[in-house]
Amino acid sequence: MSPYGLEGSHDSLGELPNQVVEVVHRVVTDPGRIAGHWVEGLLEQGMTDCEYVETLGVAVATLVVDTFTRAMRSPSPRSRST
C-alpha cells in the first residue's frame, strides 16, 4: 500500500500549517518512503525549502529524544512536573 494513495487530513489543534503536520507525520511513521515528488508537492503548496529542513530537524530531534526516553523506560520529559 502506498502512502501517496491515501487522502484525508490529520487531527490537529490547528496551530501548525497542514504541511508541517504532514512532514512530522511522515517522518515519524514512514520515513523510508519519503520521495522527491512528495517533497516537491510540499514546496508547490507553499512550504519553503528552509521551512522543510527546519521542520525535519525539529521532528527528528524530538523523535530521537522520545525514542531514547522510551528505551530507558523513563517518564517523558513532557510528563514531568516542574
pLDDT for 22-56, tens place per residue? 999 999 999 999 999 999 999 999 999 999 999 99
DSSP secondary structure letter of residue 2: -
From 20-29, 56-65, 73-82, the region with the lowest mean pLDDT: 73-82
Amino acid at 5: G
Give the separation between CA 12 and CA 32, rounded to whole angstroms.
24
Evaluate if residue 64 carries a pLDDT over 70.
yes
Cα dist from 44 to 5, 38, 62, 70, whole Å: 18, 10, 26, 36
Q: Which has the higher per-residue pLDDT, 10 or 59?
A: 59
What mean pLDDT comes out for the span 58-68? 93
Indicate the SS3 state at residue 81.
Answer: coil
Mean pLDDT of 56-79: 87
Checking if the pLDDT of 14 tops 80, the result is no
